[in-house]
Chains A and B, each alone.
Chain A
Amino acid sequence: GAVVSQHPSRVICKSGTSVKIECRSLDFQATTMFWYRQFPKQSLMLMATSNEGSKATYEQGVEKDKFLINHASLTLSTLTVTSAHPEDSSFYICSAQDGFNQPQHFGDGTRLSIL
């Protein structure tokens, strides 16, 4: 149980393109979803926290207009990187949680490369 599906696994696109990443909880309801970014050989850095039906809470330094997060249902959250540039290239990982103080379950990540 507790499977989180993240798609796509890899994206390569031109500068200026907007990219949407989906995160789905397949067998549980995710009251909260988290989006992380990971640079090579570094730890995961939390970008934002989203609760179903409400606006996401962004961490300091993360541009809300750049990284649009939608958590429209208890099983789906999306991250859209708008007008992506090479510096947005990174590994993006989502996680889902069914209730406060419950384990987080992670998707397999999306490797984004902007040319």
Chain B
Amino acid sequence: GIQVEQSPPDLILQEGANSTLRCIFSDSVNNLQWFHQNPWGQLINLFYIPSGTKQNGRLSATTVATERYSLLYISSSQTTDSGVYFCAVGYTGGFKTIFGAGTRLFVKA
């Protein structure tokens, strides 16, 4: 099956800093989503981005499907950005979504 790798696994930022989270996948995908899981366990849908670039406030994401990677950019980080960021892909060979291991982000005040 498809492999989904996220990096870095852990990230500590000072409030106001920028960061880039990476997601690489081993096979062609039909769709890709980025999620933020907050400390209460809620999964917040950030982007549905099988290809191209999208922006939503301080967050933006780019997926280059032909090169099998996606990037999530966080600018001017805030303490409320803390949590785990997951990349999840739906691949061509199946009808289910595979999650990466996540990037655990902590933003210090």
A residues bordering B, Cβ < 8 Å? 2, 32, 34, 38, 41-46, 49, 91, 93, 95, 100-106, 108-109, 111
Instruction: For the complex, give the distance between the alpha carbons of A73 and B96 in Å.
Output: 20
- In the complex, the answer to whether B33 meets A103 with C-beta atoms within 8 Å is yes
Which residues of the partner chain A approach B98 to less than 8 Å between Cβ atoms? 46
The reply to whether A43 and B100 form a contact with Cβ atoms under 8 Å apart is yes
A2 CA to B96 CA in the complex, in Å?
19
Q: For window 6-51 of chain B, which residues contact chain A by CB distance below 8 Å? A: 30-31, 33, 35, 40-43, 45, 48, 50
- Shortest C-beta distance, B58 to chain A (Å), equals 21
Do the beta carbons of B43 and A49 come within 8 Å of each other?
no
Complex contact A104–B33 (CB within 8 A): yes
Chain A residues contacting B90 (CB-CB under 8 Å) are 101
Which of A32, A38, A95, A106 is the most central at the interface, judged by chain B CB atoms within 10 Å of its CB?
A106
User: A38: nearest residue on chain B (CB-CB)?
Assistant: B41
B99 CB–A CB distance under 8 Å? yes
Which residue on A lies nearest to B42, using beta carbons? A108
In the complex with contacts A43-B102, A103-B31, A34-B97 CB distance below 8 A = yes
Q: Which of B47-67 contact A (CB under 8 A)?
A: 48, 50
Q: Are B95 and A108 in contact (CB under 8 A)?
A: no
Question: Which residues of chain A are within 8 angstroms of B31 by Cβ–Cβ distance?
Answer: 101-103
When the two chains form their complex, are residues B95 and A46 in contact, meaning their CB atoms are under 8 A apart?
A: no
> Is the Cβ of A43 less than 8 Å from the Cβ of B97?
no
Q: A residues within 8 A CB of B43?
A: 93, 106, 109
How near does chain B come to A36, taking the closest CB pair, in angstroms? Answer: 8
